[in-house]
Structure 1
Amino acid sequence: MSKTSYYAPHGGHPAQTELLTDRAMFTEAYAVIPKGVMQDIVTSHLPFWDNMRMWVIARPLSGFSETFSQYIVEVGAGGGSDKPELDPNAEAVLFVVEGEVDLTLKGEVHRLQPGGYAFIPPAADWRLRNNGDEPVRFHWIRKHYQAVEGLPHPEPFVTNEQDIEPLVMPDTEGRWSTTRFVDMADMRHDMHVNIVNFEPGGVIPFAETHVMEHGLYVLEGKAVYRLNQDWVEVEAGDFMWLRAFCPQACYSGGPGRFRYLLYKDVNRHMNLQLSNPR
C-alpha cells in the first residue's frame, strides 16, 4: 500500500480582512461542511474530559443525520477521559488521523497511531488518555445500537488501516477499492465504517441511490462529487452528509489518491414508525 496521509483540522480563526468565500451548504438531501469552517469558534466540549475539544460534524436532527453522530476530537497532552461515553446504548468507532493515544478497552491498553481503528460495542468499559507531548486528533462515530433478539452484541476490536488489504471493486482495474474493517456478512453489526479509496481518475460511474444514510469525511485528495442534482468540489478535510436515497457519484480529481472515511447504517429492518407522522 502506498504512503498514507490523513487530514486533521487544527482550528484557528480567519483574519478580519478575509472575504467570506466558502463551499458550505445545507440542503434537504445533503450537506457539505468544508474544512474552512472548522475554526476555534465552532468547537464543543464534553463533561468528564480533560484538555479536549471537538468539532461536531453530524448529529441526529430532523432533516439532517438521523442515525449517527460524528465528532473530530482533539485531545492535548495529558488529556483524556475515564468516563468518555455516558450512553449505555451507544456503540462507537474511533479512527486516529494525527498523533497517538492510549485506549484502554476491557482492561487492555492499546496505543492508537494514525490509521488506528477501534470498534467499541455498547456498554463497553473503555478509557482514553493522551500520554504523549503532542495533541492527538481522531474521529469518534457514535450510533444507538439496534439489538436483535438472538444475536449477541459484536465484540470490541482494535486494528490499523495499514494491516488491512483493500478490496478492489469489480471491473475497476484497481482504481476503486474499499478498506473494510468488519465482515459484511456479520449480522451483529448495524453500522459499517470503512475507507473508500480512488486512484487518480477513478470514478463511481453511476448514481448510487440506496437506503443507507452516509457520512463521508475526506481524508486525502480531492474530487468532484455528485450530490443529488449537484456536482460539488470537495477536498481533504471536507465532510459530506447524504440522506437515504440521495444520488451520489464522483470523479477523483488527482494528482494523488482520493480517500474518505465512510459511515453507513446496515443490516436492520426499516423503522416503520415515523418520528414525525403526519
Structure 2
Amino acid sequence: MSQYYAPEGGLPPQTQLMTGRAVFTEAYCVIPKGCFSDIVTSALPGWKNTRLWLIARPMSGFAETFSQYVMEVGPGGGSDLPEPDPVAQGVIFVTNGEVRLSLDGTWHDLGPGGYAYIPPGCDWKLHNGTDHPARFHWVRKLYEYAPGIAAPKAFVTSDKDVKPVAMPDTGGRWATTRFADPDDIAHDMHVNIVTFQPGGVIPFEETHVMEHGLYVLEGKAVYRLNRDWVEVEAGDFMWLRAYCPQACYAAGPGPFRYLLYKDVNRHAKLRGPGAFGR
C-alpha cells in the first residue's frame, strides 16, 4: 500500500452536501480531494488509456510559471511523445502503481516515491506495463536559459533514497527532501517534499516571490493562506501566487507531507508575459 494519497475519481452520491472546502481567491486556491471526480478529468493528445486532473496552469494575474497534472495511466497506457513543447522541462513523481520511463533511450522503473527530472529537449517516453493503474504528478515549466549556464541533466531518484534536511533549530520537526541540489543554479525550479512531524510549524508568515503548488501526500494540517486559516488533508492541493503570506501547523497524529513546486534562481522578468515592459 502506497503511503502517498492518490485520487481514484468516481462521483459523490446525490445525498452528499454540495458545500465543501474549495476556494479560489486573489492570492490562493484550495482544491480539496473531494473535487477530484470523474467529471473534471481530461485527456491529452498522444497519450493512450490515460486521464488527468489538471490542477494548475499559468493564468494572467495569478500564478504564471507552471502547470501541474495528476496523471492516471491505465494498463497498457502511456505515450511515446508525451511533451509537445521542446522548451518545457518536467518533473514526474509517482504516488501509486508503477511506470517505465525512458530518458534519451535509457529505461527506468519507477514505483511509489519514484522521482524523475526531465530537462527541455529530452527524448522521453512513459508506459504502464502492469495490470493496474499508475498515478503520478507531472509538473511542467518552460525552462529559462541563462547566459553561460547549460540546462540540467536528466536524473532519476526516489523519496526513500534522498535524506531529508532539517530546517535549523527545529529539532527535525520541519525538514525538506531536496531532489535537486539547491546550489545548482542551472535549475530554475525545484520540486521537493516538505515534511512536518506532529506539532511542527512554519513559525512566521512566509511572503516571497516564488509561486507554489502544494499537493498534500500524507497527513493533515492547518495552513495560513493570505488572511485565512484553512484545514488541509492528504489529497488536497494548494495553489499560491507570488507573495501570498503562508504558514502552517502540523495538526495530525502523524507526519504531514506535501509535494512542493517553486520557481527559483532567475531574474525577475521586465518584458514579455508576466511583466510590464515591451
TM tier relative to shorter chain: over 0.9
Which of 20, 26, 30 pairs up with 1:28? 26
Partner of 2:181: 183
Q: Distance in 2 between matches of 1:203 and 1:274?
A: 38
Q: Distance in 2 between matches of 1:261 and 1:17?
A: 33
Q: Distance in 1 between matches of 2:207 and 2:61?
A: 18
Tell me if structure 1 keeps the 8 A contact 2:2–2:95: no
Q: Distance in 1 between matches of 2:73 and 2:61?
A: 31
Query: Deviation above 6 Å: which 4+ runs of structure 1?
Result: none
Partner of 2:111: 113
Q: Distance in 2 between matches of 1:4 and 1:192?
A: 23
Q: Within 5 A, what are the aligned runs for 1:65-104?
A: 65-104=63-102
Structure 2 gap ranges (5+): none
Q: Secondary structure at the match of 1:124?
A: coil
Q: Secondary structure at the match of 2:39?
A: helix
Quote how far apart the aligned CAs of 1:16 are. 1.5
Partner of 1:234: 232
Q: Distance in 2 between matches of 1:165 and 1:246?
A: 29
Q: Which one-letter code corresponds to 1:260 in the other structure? A: Y
Q: Does 1:165 align with 2:199?
A: no
Q: Distance in 2 between matches of 1:103 and 1:80?
A: 10
Which of 258, 263, 266 pairs up with 1:265? 263
Partner of 1:14: 12
Quote how far apart the aligned CAs of 1:4 are. 7.1
Q: Which one-letter code corresponds to 2:25 in the other structure? A: T
RMSD over aligned Cα, in angstroms?
1.3
Report the TM-score, using the length of structure 2 for normalisation: 0.97
Quote how far apart the aligned CAs of 1:23 are. 0.5
Partner of 1:244: 242
Q: Which one-letter code corresponds to 1:163 in the other structure? A: D
Partner of 2:220: 222
Q: Deviations over 1:86-112 (max 9, x none)?
A: 000000000000000000111111000
Q: Which is further off, 12-21 or 140-149?
A: 12-21
Partner of 1:209: 207
Quote how far apart the aligned CAs of 1:210 are. 0.9
Q: Deviations over 1:156-190 (max 9, x none)?
A: 00001100110000000110000000111101000
Q: Which one-letter code corresponds to 1:160 in the other structure? A: S
Q: Distance in 2 between matches of 1:65 and 1:137?
A: 24
Q: Which one-letter code corresponds to 1:149 in the other structure? A: P
Q: Which one-letter code corresponds to 1:194 in the other structure? A: N
Report the TM-score, using the length of structure 1 for normalisation: 0.97
Partner of 1:253: 251
Q: Secondary structure at the match of 1:12?
A: coil
Q: Distance in 2 between matches of 1:25 and 1:233?
A: 12
Q: Secondary structure at the match of 1:16?
A: coil
Quote how far apart the aligned CAs of 1:274 are. 6.0
Aligned length: 276
Quote how far apart the aligned CAs of 1:254 are. 1.4
Identity %: 67
Q: Distance in 1 between matches of 2:202 and 2:185?
A: 27
